[in-house]
Amino acid sequence: MKGENKLLQLTKKLLNEQYGINDKIFNIIMDAEKDVKNQFENIDEIREYNQFKVLQAFRNNHISDAHFHNTTGYGYDDLGRDALDRVFAEIFNAEDALVRANIISGTHALSLALYGVLRPGDTLLAVTGKPYDTLDDVIGISDKANDAGSLKDLGVNYKQVDLKDGLEVDFDALKLALTPDVKVAMIQKSKGYAWRSSLSTENIKEIISFIKSINKDIICFVDNCYGEFIEPLEPTSVGADLVAGSLIKNAGGGIAPTGGYIAGKSKYIEKVAYRLTVPGIGKEAGCNLGVIRLLYQGLFFAPHVSAESVKGAILTARVFEKLGFEVCPASSDKRMDIIQSIKFNDPEKLIAFCQGIQSGSPVDSHVEPQPWDMPGYNDQVIMAAGTFVQGASIELSADAPIRPPYIAYLQGGLNYDHVKIGLMIALQKMVDRRILNV
Ligand SMILES: *Cc1c(COP(=O)(O)O)cnc(C)c1O
């Protein structure tokens, strides 16, 4: 115990001398950590369960060095590509999966799924309110010109069931909205840029059962971005026909350099693959250009890294609760994704916080992010992402659209310690700018 205390004093001294962290900030973080430590056990249990599941899928599919080889050109008989699809499918309890480095982002993965299964005259129904901002132009609901091949441009209709009081699924309105033209019901697990709790797998199960009880043929599609490996089961284990997500979020474990995945029923994955490549070829071609090992290795790390991120998010929630800010979810709430929202009610505080997170990053700590017009977003956005993989939000990052009430969305952290130090640096920056009193 004595030795530990000595080391703690040394850390405190180092943080003070090298990072300019004062004792008050240090103590706030340490006290907050004490408050939430008992919750970490539950997260460890989920992490272990998910790690066993991932390991088992590797073992069952006899993954070996041969799967990591580079392929070029058409990529016919790319063993690694085909086996990675099977490994993902097994982990997600799905019939099939499509996991590719040339799926450039989560938005691309989600779009592939939508374009893959929707046809002119069909209706896409958003069940959990307006989908994530970057899908506006895909669906065709932004005010931009609409001849770009959005779903709307191609004759796919769109309807949305708003959340009741902005918080939960409105089952009465959903029932009315489930007209015969609805082909796809889209459910967003994570709250994205909204102030509500994210959906649990249990919630998703309930929503899907409800939809299927009205029309079993509706394709239930879950935007699973940020949700992977946070709970023991993925949405495909509770009835989802399709799920999609990004490999520079949870499912890539901080190691995948790019990529996305879609998992679900074979008949739909086939159509989605036809959209990624071309009808007739689908999943059968596409070389891996040598990055495939990183997709495997990242997947193997994913349960662990996702758990570290969640612990960081819980710590963040507790710290800001102590400082008197509103947070969502609260530090004691069950976690369904890795996002922590903090309401700053003040653009200066929001910007300082994001800049502080950036300056506590291993990469580009010396640059100061500014709000900018990011492609795909309709408000200015500030993004702190001092990450090894550009924009990877499984790494510690904070972003925020610059609009009232000035909410920062913090997520990621390859390891918990980094989140802890990053928080100290961000708070110190706010104190130094005299916009935070501690
Ligand atoms: C991040 C995210 C997306 C979009 O993913 P990108 O990789 O940024 O394109 C979509 N939906 C949700 C809920 C997300 O969190």
Per-residue pLDDT reduced to its tens digit, 26-71: 999 999 999 999 999 999 999 999 999 999 999 999 999 999 999 9
**Mutational test site, ligand 1, from 112, 134, 136, max ligand atoms within 8 Å of CB:** 134
Residues 6+ apart with CB under 8 A from 279: none
Dump the DSSP string for 407-433. Answer: EEEEE--SSHHHHHHHHHHHHHHHHHT
Mutate to test the pocket of ligand 1, among 246, 338, 411 (most ligand atoms within 8 A of CB): 246
50 HSE (CA, 13 A, CB side): 28
Residue 260 CA: nearest ligand 1 atom is: 7
Residue 115 alpha carbon to ligand 1 centre in Å: 17
Query: From ligand 1's centre to the CA of 298, what distance in Å?
Result: 18
What is the pLDDT, as a whole number, of residue 4?
A: 64
Instruction: Note the pLDDT of residue 213.
Output: 98
* pLDDT tens digits, 83-108: 999 999 999 999 999 999 999 999 99
Residues with CB under 6 A from ligand 1: 105-107, 110, 132, 134, 188, 190, 192, 223, 225-226, 246
Residue nearest to atom 5 of ligand 1 (CA): 106
Torsion angle, alpha carbons of 189, 194, 195, 201, to 10? 0
Backbone phi, psi, residue 159, to 5°: -135, 155
CA of 132 to the centre of ligand 1 (A): 7
C-alpha 338 to ligand 1 mean position (Å)? 12
What is the 3-class SS of 338-403, one letter each residue?
A: CCEEEECCCHHHHHHHHHHHHHCCCCCCCCCCCCECCCCCCCCEEEECCCCCCCCCCCCEEEEECC
What is the C-alpha separation between 423 and 321, in angstroms, rounded?
13
Cβ(397)–Cβ(389) below 8 Å? no
Distance 30 CA to ligand 1 centre (A): 32
pLDDT tens for residues 192-211? 878 888 999 999 999 999 99
Q: pLDDT averaged over the chain?
A: 95
Cα gap 31→27, rounded to integer Å:
6
Model confidence pLDDT, tens digit, residues 113-164? 999 999 999 999 999 999 998 999 999 998 776 788 999 999 999 999 999 9
Question: What confidence category does residue 3 fall into, taking pLDDT thresholds of 50, 70 and 90?
Answer: low
User: What confidence score (pLDDT) does residue 379 get?
Assistant: 86
Percent of the chain, pLDDT > 70? 99
Q: What's the pTM?
A: 0.95
Determine the atom of ligand 1 nearest the C-alpha atom of 393: 1
Ligand 1, atom 2, residue with closest C-alpha = 225
CA of 107 to the centre of ligand 1 (A): 6
Residues 6+ apart with CB under 8 A from 152: 139, 140, 141, 146, 158
- Distance from residue 251's CA to the centre of ligand 1 (Å): 13
Mutate to test the pocket of ligand 1, among 136, 195, 225, 262 (most ligand atoms within 8 A of CB): 225
Q: What is the pLDDT averaged over residues 269-280?
A: 98
Rounded mean pLDDT of 226-250? Answer: 98
**Residue located nearest, by CA, to atom 14 of ligand 1:** 225
Residue 374's pLDDT band, with cuts at 50, 70 and 90, is confident
**Residue 259, pLDDT above cutoff 90:** yes
| Neighbour count for residue 403 (Cβ, 10 Å) | 13
Q: Name the phi and psi angles at 26, rounded to 5.
A: -55, -45
Q: Give CA separation, 207 vs 169, 220, 222, 244, 339, in Å.
A: 8, 9, 11, 18, 22
SS3 215: coil
Residue found by looking up tokens 């590509």 in the block: 81
Average pLDDT over residues 15-24: 93
| Nearest CA owner, ligand 1 atom 6 | 106
Ligand 1 centroid, distance to 77 Cα (angstroms)? 31
Ligand 1 pocket mutation pick from 100, 243, 247, 249 by most atoms within 8 angstroms of CB? 249
Report the separation in Å between the CA atom of 327 and the middle of ligand 1, taken as the mean of its atom positions. Answer: 21
